[in-house]
Amino acid sequence: MPKPASLPLTGQTDSPPRHVAIIMDGNGRWAKARHLPRIAGHKQGVEAVRRVSRAARQMGIEVLTLYAFSSENWRRPEGEVRDLMGLLRRFLKNEVDELVSEGVRLRVIGDYRALSDDLVAMIDEAVERTRDSDGPTLVIALNYGSQAEILKATRSLAEKVAAGAIAPEAIDEKRFEAELATHDLPPLDLMIRTSGEQRLSNFLLWQAAYAELVFVDTLWPDFNAATLGEALDIYARRHRRFGGL
């Protein structure tokens, strides 16, 4: 069977990964270790987002996707969710001008329209302001769950089959990927998770099928250009076979 067209050639490369995703974990533990409220960890986590997104641009990464708020995070205490939404407002208010000036395109994946009306309006405005940017892309996953994304894609294809728009046998990997929120992004090359946990937590499950996985002990608020560089060094030493030899 021929290799899917979306997969790059096998082997090591001196080039940075085109698309890197990060599960930003450890804000609460960072705060607890310092006897601080959890919101302090989240605030430092936002600072890490600024550092790492700038570093990623300098390192030549085309797309950086950050897991900011999962669909399961609604289970957290109401006060913590409110604090997280407040930090999101502050990030959008303070960072979009820099994204525009740096030529960064902002994308948001997930059911973010379930957030409050004012946040949805801020997100829409930020995305629109950066829509025509021709530089790297920063993707923020908000109210995102990969299983829900896959189910939505499946239902969409089922509806098209039922309507006679496509035949069942016409559905292949490429056709399925066209239904995903990431359909116009490069394939995911590298998935990083901070804080020592080693699971994907319902993040980019389809997209991570052939991604390299790197788990680091660093808590997200302490993650910086150096730790990102270390993860890229690990990636560069991997031999990507995609099922081949």
Q: Is residue 183 a known part of a binding site?
A: no
Q: Is 6 annotated as a binding residue?
A: no
**Cβ within 8 Å of residue 38, ≥6 positions away:** 27, 28, 31, 32, 80, 83
Residues contacting residue 195 through CB under 8 Å, at least 6 positions apart: 25, 26, 29, 217, 218, 219, 220
229 marked as part of a ligand binding site: no
Q: Of how many residues is the chain composed?
A: 245
Q: Which residues are catalytic, by number? A: 25, 73
Sign of CA dihedral 203, 93, 122, 182: negative
28 is in an annotated binding site: yes
Instruction: Consult the annotation and say whether 72 binds a ligand.
Output: yes
Q: Is 42 annotated as a binding residue?
A: yes
Burial 209-219 (b: 16+ CB within 10 A, else e): ebbbebbbebb
* 9 to 1, 12, 239, 243: CA distances (angstroms): 15, 9, 10, 11
**Does the annotation place 71 within a ligand binding site?**
yes
- The response to whether 54 counts as a known ligand-binding position is no
> Was 26 annotated as part of a binding site?
yes
Binding region? 25-30, 38, 42, 70-72, 74, 76, 193, 199-201, 212
Binding region for substrate? 26-30, 38, 42, 70-72, 74, 76, 193, 199-201
Binding region for Mg(2+)? 25, 212
